[in-house]
């Protein structure tokens, strides 16, 4: 049974996350990053104070979206340059390392987090949906982020 405190905490988390995102989008990216930093450190600290191991693990995992946003907002992408792909690695490698360390600290196996060869077709379908969402986002943002140039399919896949 989920307690009222847990529900209130999740609502507060979503509200703070929303405030940080609105700050990044409409007011000040620096303020949004600061809010994400405070939220991330609070979640890490609070997860160490919670006695219930499952709740502690869940709270620790909630810090990952803030880490992603901090890194991706701090390192602006220079689209269509030679180093754009390298910048994607700079952004996502720390996130993958953090996710891996979180898995290790929680004693999770690859099967526990969904990496399995069983029902491989489901993994392919999930991957295809991610790729299709990336392509759709690319075409939505194309006018804002790209100059008027000819775009080939390889570039779409890189940014998707």
Span 20-44, pLDDT tens digits:
888 888 888 888 888 888 888 888 8
Helix axes 63-74, 29-49, angle to 10 degrees: 150
Query: If you search the block for the tokens 């940080």, which residue do you land on?
Result: 20
Separation CA 72–CA 54 (nearest Å): 29
Contact indicator for 35, 21 with CB cutoff of 8 Å: no
Number of domains in the chain: 2
Same domain, 106 and 154: no
pLDDT digits (tens, 9 = 90+) for 125-145: 887 888 888 778 777 766 555
What distance in Å separates the CA atoms of residue 118 and residue 113, rounded to the nearest whole number?
Answer: 13
Pairwise pLDDT comparison (81 vs 30), residue with the higher score: 30
Are 104 and 129 in a shared domain?
no
DSSP code at position 27: I
123 and 60 share a domain? no
Question: Given this model, what pLDDT does residue 156 score?
Answer: 54
Q: Report DSSP state, residue 26.
A: I
Which is it for the CA torsion 45, 48, 51, 54, positive or negative? positive
| Domain co-membership, 133 together with 87 | no
pLDDT of residue 148: 43
Range of the domain at 51: 4-111
Q: Does the structure show a pLDDT above 80 at 91?
A: no
**Which of the listed ranges 32-46, 74-88, 94-108 does the model predict with the highest average pLDDT?**
32-46
Given pLDDT bands bounded at 50, 70 and 90, which one contains residue 159? low
pLDDT, average across residues 96-111: 80
Q: Are residues 102 and 121 in the same domain?
A: no
pTM recorded for the entire structure = 0.60
Q: Are residues 84 and 30 in the same domain?
A: yes
User: Is residue 149's pLDDT more than 60?
Assistant: no
What was the pLDDT predicted at 32?
Answer: 86
């Amino acid at each position: 049974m989920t307690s009222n405190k847990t529900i209130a905490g999740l609502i507060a988390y979503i509200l703070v996350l929303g405030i940080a995102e609105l700050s990044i989008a409409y007011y000040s990216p620096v303020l949004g990053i600061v809010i994400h930093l405070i939220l991330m450190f609070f979640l890490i600290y609070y997860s160490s104070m919670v006695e219930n191991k499952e709740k502690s693990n869940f709270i620790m995992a909630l810090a990952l979206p803030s880490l992603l946003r901090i890194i991706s907002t701090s390192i602006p992408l220079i689209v269509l340059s030679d180093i754009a792909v390298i910048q994607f690695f700079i952004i996502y490698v720390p996130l993958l390392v953090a996710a891996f360390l979180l898995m290790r600290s929680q004693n999770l196996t690859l099967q526990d987090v969904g990496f399995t060869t069983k029902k491989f077709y489901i993994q392919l379908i999930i991957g295809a949906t991610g790729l299709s969402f990336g392509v759709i986002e690319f075409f939505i943002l194309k006018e804002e982020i790209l100059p008027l140039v000819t775009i080939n399919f390889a570039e779409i896949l890189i940014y998707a």
